[in-house]
Amino acid sequence: MFGGVTEDVLHHDPLTQFDIAALRLLRSHATDLGDKIFSAVSVLGSPLAMAVIGVVVAAFLAIRRHWILLSGWVAAFAGAGVLTTVLKNVIQRPRPIGADQFLHGESFSFPSGHALGSLIGYGMLAYLLVLLVNRRRQHLLIVAAAGVLIVAIGFSRLYLGVHYFSDIIGGYAAGLLWLSACISGLEVVRRREPYTT
């Protein structure tokens, strides 16, 4: 999926025309209240928010001596940072016109760092909570809550006009790839050493 979206972006295929149409439609219906709400939602996927969550959870795992989970957690967040930086600087897609009013600093548009980072960060958090919370009835709630939050963060970036639709999908696709790799690696290690986490 990531490869297909990236190819469309680089070659200005029909997906990029949809990007512009979707962006214009959302911004034409934007309101001041909507901007405030989605700006707040967007903060939940910001690098600062992800860094705070990363440090807090890492400290918790270290205190509880969950060394295997800690290593997977650190790898997930480190990979998210590297992926975002490398992909943005390799592809170098300009931001949508008018995006600067909601941006703090300058960066390229594809893929969305908020989409990529939130999928990995909240996806890993949901995975850890499912492992550490024994009540199975809560597992579905945890996963659903993470999914809703991740989608809301991605939509907030579209609503604010700081990303195109393909930026969000590309971020999700790259994030899902890395998240899957991290969780798969952790599961392999945990099954080999079932009495340690």
Single out the catalytic residue among 11, 12, 114, 139: 114
Q: For 2-192, give the CATH class.
A: mainly alpha
Supply the pLDDT for residue 56.
96
Supply the pLDDT for residue 77.
95
Respond yes or no: is residue 163 known to be catalytic. yes
Q: Model confidence over 106-137: pLDDT tens digits?
A: 788 889 999 999 999 999 999 999 988 887 78
How high does pLDDT run on average in the chain? 88
pLDDT of 27 higher than 90: no
Q: Smallest Cα–Cα separation from 171: which of 128, 127, 121?
A: 121
Any idea what the Cα angle at residue 179 is, between residues 185 and 117, rounded to 5°?
A: 145
Q: Read off the pTM.
A: 0.88
Q: Model confidence over 31-70: pLDDT tens digits?
A: 999 999 999 999 999 999 999 999 999 999 999 999 999 9
Single out the catalytic residue among 11, 12, 29, 163: 163
- Does an H or E element contain 28, and which? helix 14-28
Supply the pLDDT for residue 81.
93
Q: Smallest Cα–Cα separation from 182: which of 82, 83, 71?
A: 71
Percent of the chain exceeding pLDDT 90 equals 59
Buried residues in 141-178 as b, exposed as e (16+ CB within 10 A): ebeeebeebbebbbbbbbbbbbbbbbbbbbbbbbbbbb
Supply the pLDDT for residue 194.
58
Supply the pLDDT for residue 130.
92
Total residue count of the chain as it appears in this document: 197
Q: Rounded to an integer, what distance in angstroms lies between the CA atom of residue 68 and that of residue 185?
A: 10
Q: Rounded to an integer, what distance in angstroms lies between the CA atom of residue 166 and that of residue 15?
A: 7
CB-based contact 150:123 (threshold 8 Å): yes
Respond yes or no: is residue 114 known to be catalytic. yes
Joined tokens for residue 190: 């945990």
